[in-house]
Amino acid sequence: MGAYLYLAPTLPDAQALREVDLQTPLRVYTADGKLISEFGEKRRTPLTYSQIPPRFIDALLASEDDAFFEHYGIDVKGLLRASLELIRTGRKKSGGSTITMQVAKNYYLSSEKSFGRKFTEILLALKIEQALTKEEILELYVNKIYLGKRAYGIEAAAQVYYGKSIQELNLAQTAMIAGLPQAPSAANPVNSPQRALERRNYVLSRMLELKKITEAEYRQASAEPVTARYHGANTEVSAPYVAEMVRQYIVATYGEDKAYTQGFRVFTSIDSTRQLSANLALQRGLLDYDRAHGYRQKPAFAPMIKGTQVSREEWLQPGKDEAPLDWDATLPQWHDAIAATEPDGVIATAIVSRVTDKGAWIYTGEQFLFLPYEGLSWAAPFLNINAMGKRPAHTSDLLSRGQKIMFERRGEHLLLAQKPAVESALVSVDPQTGGIQALVGGFTQADNQFNRVTQAQRQPGSAFKPFVYSAALANGFTPATIINDAPVVYEDASLEDGSWRPENYNGKFNGPTRLRQALYRSQNLVSIRILSQITPRKAIEYIRPFGFQNANLQAELSLALGTSAVTPLQLAGAYGTLANGGFAVEPWLIDRIEDSNGSELVQHSPVILCDGCTAPEGSKVAPRVMDARTNFLIVDMLQDVVKRGTAVKAKELGRTDLAGKTGTTNDQKDAWFSGFNRNLVTTVWVGFDTPSTLGKAAFGGTTALPIWMAYMKEALKGVPEQEPVMPEGIVTAMIDPTTGLLAAPGQPDAINEFFREEDVPKESATVRLETGNGTTVSAPEMLF
């Protein structure tokens, strides 16, 4: 009584357990609710009492506290038994703790082993029983208890050990989870399968003894092997760069202490289907580029145990020139060697088990697959970025038994692979809302967390030209304006020879060229002359609001060639302005943030694209930064890049609403393609992290464009084509393709062109017509 009177005032309020805030990890989801990742030391998914399977309750109480629903918080017999054991042996064997006492300890007390703490635990258990129902106590217990492998609570444990919800487990698996509280670290089924099996069968025997299961159920469940293995976070969509962007934001906003413990649920703008397509397109595109430049991987071998025992399939038996192996001993060694290698996107590790003339059998750690010669014949040795050695004539020229290799599944085919040395970035944005639909910051995040979408500052090359041309169109130029594509020299004291002599990428000059032609042909000298006329400073003032506010745009003529570094995300945002009709919409990733109870903490404010309208409450009007007519003209010109220019290969997608621009920098150090329609903008960059040439055959149209096409083919499935709407004040006129003036009457090579109505040429061209007798005459000029 004295001890009670002394300790009672210090006991916490048991009612507070109703409001207890369980530590739960940060979870990141796609827009359609699929899990991308989770962060936190404690994996936890709290359940309500009604969500706990009755069979699990039977298993738990049978092993931990079979009188739970009868006692009032303490088990007097159990405590007396534990005390007598302690007095008799001097060691603690059984604790005598009830589930209520464990709740008291887990929520309020330390793990100190002392009589004082134990007595406090007893008193607190009595207090909890008075304040809460049995169901509430059991709910607190199953959500708080540690069950090994960072799993706190039974739902997290079910996911960690079986990759399933607790409701989906069979009887043997349920008993395994119920048996974990006694020794979660030392006797879980991953760390100690045998000890876990014994504990599971003890739980089953107790259930049988208490008549919670039948004899037949007991025999069947106790005979089952241990099927548990470690399951990481049960992610549904691979988007590690997205997850890291969200993690950094949550830590910066809420602090590191709260970020991983408060159970924040972050829903992003990511479309799960498009993200998976982006992953596949980028990784396969880099592997294709890599294979075109040769095989760099040095041979590495897994352990092989020599012997005469051969018990595998006949085709695994060694050939005449191969020493016999003990396959029963070797394969487990190979399995461990493969398991120690982290998965790397679409490529996986395997070990060559047998080499034949037609290919090689490889062991993946789970099964044997056949890698045909056709899948490895590409692997000529890498000599340098522009040269390879001789291709292997036979499988044995490249592979031998025990060799560790990487391979890729592509449909029904297997291909030899290697981790690409080249890198890439892909970002896809909805230009109407700014929501990022897919984001891939590199081949994989396993080796390097550098996010090339947001952190790589690279020169965009000709992919920047549409903004220079837009500035020109906004300052009086038309698609038919003639600019001379001819050599030019600029004095520049900062250069070694004091002058700058820019050239076109093909080294040729085309003479007088219409603006439209110059853009889809990507003629550098025309772009420089345009910028010279409107001045770099004036162009930057026009361009910056498109999405380059934070970009370091240099007010120099080289700006026309894309020499000012930008990130892929900045470039994609700027192309979004072209795609949506001329409105500045900033790309965003986080749609909403919820707390652990599902209450909304943050909600992204949607944007409205319109001229002169008032935004509804909770939304905002995007500023117009490009005149509708200028926007129509530049988008129509960029469609010609796809129809007849440097991105003509994109016509294979079979759509008429695509526009975009390739970009390649000096010495092919960066390759770009940014392309769009009204619904989706996607930017792809390819290059080495430490800038160096991609090779003499690498251009935006050959290196970045194929990745863009592979992604957009899937991303635009089911999306109707939507051509740009011609705004008021845009007219068409037939012009002479050589001069850009109005076409002469009856001119056979006249073409149609768009103009602002006030910019239609006032003069007609003089056309030289053949008379049929070897002479030419001038056609009369017609003025309109």
Active site residues: 64, 462
Task: Return the sign of the alpha-carbon dihedral for residues 327, 330, 336, 342.
Answer: negative
| Exposed e or buried b per residue across 740-772, where buried means at least 16 C-beta atoms within 10 angstroms of its C-beta | bbbbbeebeebeebbbbeebbbeebbebeeeee
Rounded Cα distance between 26 and 213, Å, is 38
Task: Return the sign of the alpha-carbon dihedral for residues 70, 76, 82, 85.
Answer: negative
Residue 706 near residue 673 (C-beta atoms within 8 A): no
Alpha-carbon distance values, 471 to 270, 604, 612, 739 (Å): 32, 32, 23, 22
Alpha-carbon distance values, 444 to 45, 50, 400, 711, 766 (Å): 28, 41, 28, 17, 60
Q: Is 574 helix (H, G, I), strand (E, B) or coil?
A: helix
Rounded Cα distance between 634 and 625, Å, is 14
Task: State both tokens at 414.
Answer: 């297997």
**Rounded to the nearest 5 degrees, what angle is found at the Cα of 409, between the Cα atoms of 405 and 412?**
135
Token pair 């853009």 is found at 519
- Which helix (H) or strand (E) covers residue 354, if one does? strand 347-356
Task: To the nearest 10°, report the CA torsion of 105, 106, 111, 115.
Answer: 0
Task: State both tokens at 60.
Answer: 């738990």
The neighbour count for residue 619, using CB atoms within 10 Å, is 13
Beta bridge partners of 354: 361
Token pair 């329609």 is found at 677
| Exposed e or buried b per residue across 163-185, where buried means at least 16 C-beta atoms within 10 angstroms of its C-beta | eebbeebebbbbbbbbbbbeebe
Q: What is the DSSP string of 437-487?
A: EEEE-SS-SSS----HHHH--B--GGGGHHHHHHHHHHTT--TT-EEEE--
Strand duo 511-514 + 482-485: pairing: antiparallel
3-state secondary structure 297-344: CCCCECCCCECCCCCCCHHHCCCCCCCCECHHHHHHHHHHHHHCCCCE
The residue among 138, 157, 159 whose CA lies nearest residue 146 is 157
340, with CB counted inside 10 A (0-12, 13-18, 19+), is exposed
